[in-house]
A and B are shown apart, each in its own frame.
Chain A
Amino acid sequence: MATTLHSLLDQLRETRAWKSVFRRGPALTNRTRSQAVFGNLFLHWMPVKVREKSLAVRASYYLGSISFLLFLALTITGILLMFYYHPAVPQAYRDMKDLRFVVSNGVFLRNAHRLAAQLMVLLVFLHMFHVFYRGGYKPPHEFNWVVGVILLLVTLFLSYTGYLLPWDQLAFWAITVGTNIMSAMPVIGGKLRFTLLGGNLVGENALLRFYVMHVVVLPLIAFLFIGIHFWRVQKDGGLTVRSKDDGKE
C-alpha cells in the first residue's frame, strides 16, 4: 500500500503539470533537493543545508519553530473569528455570546485562538531563555537577539490588544489597570495613554484602536520581524551548535 502510494507520487512528480507548478521533477538528487528549498518562494529563506547537530531536539527544542507555528495558527483562527466580530460596544460582547450559542464550532474557534495566544507568549519566553542559556546570542548572532527582543515585545502587545476585544469585565479592567500605569510616565504618560485609548477612558474608541492594532498593525510588524529573524538565522550560519551536542535525538 505504502509503496504503491509512493510510486504513484513519484509518477505524479514526473508529469508536466507537476513540473510546471514546482519548476522541477522529483527531488532525488542533492541538486534537486537544493532547488526544492531555494526555488520555492515559501522556503527560500531557509538554508539549503543544515548542521546535523542543529537538528538534535536539544539544540532548540523546536521552541522558535513552535512559536512561529502558533503565530500561523493564530492567523488562521483569528481570520475566522473576524468573520463574526464587530469592534463596537456592546456588539463585541454579543458576538462572543453568539460564538458560544449560535455559530457552529464557535466555542472551539474561540478556545483554540485563546489557547494558542497563551501558548505563544509562553513559548516565546521559553525560546528566549533557551537561546540565552545556550549562548545563542553570541557573535555573529548579536543582532538577531535584538530582533528577538523586538519580537517579544510585539508578541506581548499582540496578546494585550487581543485581551480587550471580548469586551467583558476581565477585558475592560485588565486594560484599565494596564493603561493607568502609563500615566505614571512623566510628561508624555498622559498623552500616550490618551493616544492609545482615543480618549480618557477605555471606551468605544479604545476598542476600535485595539482592534486595528490587533488585526492589522501588530501582525504586519510581527510578520516583518519574523522574516528578518529567520533570514538572519540563515545568514549568521545557522543555529549555534556546541561541540558536546550530538546529532542523535
Chain B
Amino acid sequence: MTEKNKIETGFGSDAKKNPQRIVFVTRKTSAKVTDDRGPLLMTYPHLLLREAIAAQILTVAVVLVALFWDAPLEQLANPLLTPNPAKAPWYFLGLQELLHYFPPFVAGVILPGLVVLALIVIPYFNVNIEGAPIWERNPARHFRNYVAVIVALTVLLAAFDAWTVAAPTLAIGAVLIWSYFAKSEASAAARYFRSRPLSWWLMTWFVFVALILTLVGTFFRGPGWSWVWPWRPYGA
C-alpha cells in the first residue's frame, strides 16, 4: 500500500500521525475496566433453544385461546347508523377518554405528539442516564418545585373537570410527597421509593394515568360517554 496511490480524503490512516479519541471519561467515572457482566455462552444451542421453547409455548397458547374465544363481528358497516358509544380499539380508548375532556386539537394532536416526543428523547437526557435518587441533590428546592408542578397540574385538570386524569396524578403525587418525608430506614417501601430517580417517577405517572384512562374508557363508559358500571349492561 503506497501512500502515493491514495485518493486525497483529508485524513490519513496512520494512527501515529492522526490519533483518534478512543475513550471518553465522563464525570464521576474512571477509565478503569470494570466488567462484571459475567461469562459468555454459545448462542447455539443456549439462546436458540430458549427461543424455540418460547415459540412452542406461544403457539400452543395462541391456538388454545383461538379455539375457544371468537373474534367479534358485528352487522355490515352502515354510515347512517351511529352506534352509541362508538369506541376505538382498546389501545386508543385512553386517548378517547382524553377527548371527552379536552378539545380535539389538544387531546388528539398535542398530547399524543408530546408523548411520542418525550419517549424519543428519554435516552438523550443525562438525568435519565445517571438516574440519581430523587432526593439526593438539593432536596428542599426540588421538593418545592415538584409540589408546585403537582398543584399546577391538578388545578389545570380540575379546570377541565378531567378527574379520571387528576385522580391517578394526585395518587402518584401523594406517594412522591410521602417519600420526601419518610425515613429510608423506616421501611422497605420508603427505601424503595426514595431510591427511585426522577425518570422512574415520570414514567410511572405516565403508565398509571394511561392504564386508568384505558380501563375507564374500556369498561366504564357508555352512551354519550357517560359513566356506566361494567356489571350493569346498558342497551342490549
From residue 138 to 178 of chain A, which have CB atoms closer than 8 A to chain B?
138-139, 141-142, 145-146, 149, 152-153, 156, 159-160, 163, 166-174, 176-178
Select from chain B the residue with minimum beta-carbon distance to A132.
B203
Instruction: Assess whether A16 is interfacial by the CB under 8 Å rule.
Output: no
Contact flags (1/0) for A30-58 with B, using CB distance below 8 Å?
A: 10011011000001001111111101000
Do the beta carbons of B129 and A172 come within 8 Å of each other?
no
Contact flags (1/0) for A72-85 with B, using CB distance below 8 Å?
A: 01000000000000
Select from chain A the residue with minimum beta-carbon distance to B34.
A243
Instruction: Assess whether B27 is interfacial by the CB under 8 Å rule.
Output: no
> Which residues does chain A contribute within 8 Å of B89, judged by CB atoms?
159-160, 163, 174
Known A50-B41, A50-B47; 10 more pairs at CB < 8 Å: A55-B47, A107-B70, A111-B65, A139-B123, A149-B120, A156-B91, A169-B78, A178-B88, A241-B37, A247-B38
Contact flags (1/0) for B42-74 with A, using CB distance below 8 Å?
A: 111111101100110011001101110111111
Interface-facing stretch out of A63-71, A209-217, A218-226: A63-71
Q: How large is the interface on B (under 10, 10 to 19, 20 to 34, 35 or more residues)?
A: 35 or more
Do the beta carbons of B75 and A50 come within 8 Å of each other?
no
From residue 104 to 163 of chain A, which have CB atoms closer than 8 A to chain B?
107-108, 110-116, 118-119, 121, 125, 128-129, 132-133, 135, 137-139, 141-142, 145-146, 149, 152-153, 156, 159-160, 163
Do the beta carbons of A47 and B43 come within 8 Å of each other?
yes
Give the Cβ gap from B128 to chain A, nearest Cβ, in Å.
8
Instruction: Assess whether B235 is interfacial by the CB under 8 Å rule.
Output: no
Contact A241-B38, Cβ < 8 Å, known A73-B59, A142-B124: yes
Do the beta carbons of B45 and A184 come within 8 Å of each other?
no
Select from chain A the residue with minimum beta-carbon distance to B26.
A139
- 3 smallest CB-CB distances across A and B, nearest first, come from A184-B104, A172-B77, A181-B108
Bound: A201/B79 CA distance, A: 9
Taking Cβ atoms with an 8 Å cutoff, the residues of B that contact A are 36-48, 50-51, 54-55, 58-59, 62-63, 65-67, 69-79, 81-83, 86-92, 95-96, 99, 103-105, 107-109, 116, 119-120, 122-124, 128-129, 131, 200, 203, 207
**30 pairs of residues in contact across A and B, judged by CB atoms under 8 Å:** A33-B43, A33-B45, A37-B44, A43-B48, A48-B43, A49-B40, A51-B38, A52-B40, A55-B47, A55-B50, A62-B51, A100-B73, A107-B70, A110-B71, A111-B67, A111-B71, A115-B71, A133-B200, A137-B128, A142-B124, A149-B119, A153-B116, A168-B74, A168-B75, A173-B87, A184-B105, A184-B109, A185-B108, A186-B105, A202-B79
Contact A172-B54, Cβ < 8 Å, known A48-B43, A142-B123: no
Do the beta carbons of B51 and A65 come within 8 Å of each other?
yes
> Which residues does chain B contribute within 8 Å of A55, judged by CB atoms?
41, 46-47, 50
Taking Cβ atoms with an 8 Å cutoff, the residues of A that contact B are 27, 30, 33-34, 36-37, 43, 46-53, 55, 62, 65-66, 69-70, 73, 89-90, 93, 96-97, 100, 107-108, 110-116, 118-119, 121, 125, 128-129, 132-133, 135, 137-139, 141-142, 145-146, 149, 152-153, 156, 159-160, 163, 166-174, 176-178, 180-186, 189, 201-202, 241, 243, 247
